[in-house]
Structure 1
Amino acid sequence: MNPDRVYPILLLLGSNLFMTFAWYGHLKYKSAPLTLAIIVSWGIAFFEYCLMVPANRMGSAVYSAPQLKGMQEVITLLVFAGFSAWYLGEPLKWNHWAGFGLIVAAAWLIFLD
């Protein structure tokens, strides 16, 4: 497989791991002050950007911007599904999977010629 096509996907995966923790990780610590949650989330998001920006820069050489965004959405859903079940203890229900499936179908359409 062509590394120019794979590296952006791996960077998007890494960036989504950071961003999922930044956006949702604080939900496990609802007693923490909101200001602290915002500051910690912002700090985690910095590392997300350190991966996202190169992913999009490198990826734009082989993918269109809509294709990069479509991949981003699918990766986000996969990362979130695992995070929700593993970290938050909230496994997804059938209707969540059905909704995510529709988003995956939409992303697939973006790759059609």
Structure 2
Amino acid sequence: MRVRNRRTAAWSLEAALWSAAKASAHVLDRLHEWGYREADTAEAALTDLLVRTAVADGDRRVSVHHADQNRQALIVALSHQPGPAVADTRVLAELTSLGAVSCGTDTADDGRRVWAVLDL
């Protein structure tokens, strides 16, 4: 996965129940640092769902990658679990209901990615 020509941040966390809340706090802190003072519960809830989905894949760690561009944020959770991504339309529908303007899931050599883009 490549994200170019924009501000980015990334965190590696243990794949544990507490990881979703920690990741949400990291993303909100970074959004506020980047000047998006209005970022709050919607961004936190969306990050929480992405990370919980990655944790459920069963690996020992998850990575959260975050970028912004033109008042939109990209948030990606990577499970590092090899193999095909589990098709779960419920997760994509829930991401959309939380405000994602685009979202998806795919599998690469480095594991399953679950991602969402939202307007800020």
Short-chain TM bin: 0.3 to 0.5
Higher helix share: 1
Q: RCO greater where, 1 or 2, for CA within 8 Å and sep 6 or more? A: 1
What is the TM-score when the length of structure 1 is the normalising length? 0.39
